[in-house]
Amino acid sequence: MATRIGVAGVGGRMGRLLVAEILRTPGATLAGGTVRPGGALIGQDVGRIAGLEPMGLPATDDITALAARADVLIDFTHADALEANLAAATAARTALVLGTTGLTADQEQAVAAAARAIPVVHAANFAPAVNVMLGLVRQAAAALGPEYDIEILEMHHRQKVDAPSGTAIALGRAAASGRGVVLESVMESGRHGHTGRRADGAIGFAALRGGQVVGEHSVIFAGAVEHITIGHRSFDRRIYAEGALRAALWVAGRAPGLYGMLDVLGMERP
């Protein structure tokens, strides 16, 4: 039986890609999609919204109804919609794949609380190679030690609203984990003006925005006499949709819990 997948935010770029990916993937069927409450897309055919042939499935702004008829809900919308989407998925006991970034600490706690009732795959980035990169960064940070300064550089399209990116923060947490520290205690971001010397043990972040860059991330380990850079570049947003759908098919029917892409990929957690 095909897994019924609902997409929150089918009017967005990721939403349209997810619809197309679901339709072309064996074992998956589209349960429906939501659009912004009160928006002009309500009632329009989801297929047309995604730039495809009409499929007789009107878009709705009722996330509760969508969660009730789906086995898995995929959410790449906005942090402001998190509370309603979590509540809908939890009430319907529907699994959730969450790719929304820019969450506050309280929102991350809300995700963890929801995962006690339903299975949740929460990741800053659903590209498989990025998750391999997280493991490499953790290993490098542990092996090289504090003698190597760590700087994280990321660039995204001009429309991105949060900085540093969720992936950059995940890379920072991987590096901090490798050093046995908490990222928030060593994070340096947004340097400007006379900042003084670089703090020992700091993990620095720089965010670039421009054009239509899908996503570029580099982690630089800078020693006194050598540097090593671990990097990743995304050339097509479809890779995120492919990864999210892979997670949706994996999480359907799982026990409640908070999972990540390492679980989906069958990779060992740190």
Distance CA 60, CA 70 (A): 14
The alpha carbon torsion through 259, 261, 263, 269 (nearest 10 deg) reads -90
- Give the residue numbers of the binding site for NAD(+): 9-14, 53, 99-101, 123-126
* 232: annotated active-site residue: no
- Can you give 52-121 as a three-state secondary structure string? CCCCCCECECCHHHHHHCCCEEEECCCHHHHHHHHHHHHHHCCEEEECCCCCCHHHHHHHHHHCCCCEEE
For residue 5, which of 67, 92, 81, 87 has the smallest C-alpha distance? 67
Q: Indicate which residue of 78, 122, 156, 217 is catalytic.
A: 156
* 160: annotated active-site residue: yes
Cis status, amide bond into 164, omega within 30 of 0: yes
Render the burial of 217-242: b for 16+ CB within 10 Å, e for the rest.
Answer: bbbbbbeeeeeeebebebeebebbbb
145 Cβ contact list (under 8 Å, min separation 6): 179
Q: Please count the residues of the chain.
A: 270
For residue 13, which of 261, 243, 238 has the smallest C-alpha distance? 238
- Give the residue numbers of the binding site: 9-14, 53, 99-101, 123-126, 157, 166-167
User: What separation in angstroms does the CA of 202 have from each of 93, 176, 182?
Assistant: 42, 9, 11
In this structure, which amino acid lies at residue 224? A
- Give the residue numbers of the binding site for (S)-2,3,4,5-tetrahydrodipicolinate: 157, 166-167
Q: Indicate which residue of 78, 122, 160, 217 is catalytic.
A: 160
Cα angle 87, 88, 94 (rounded to 5 degrees) comes to 110
Q: Which residue numbers are catalytic?
A: 156, 160
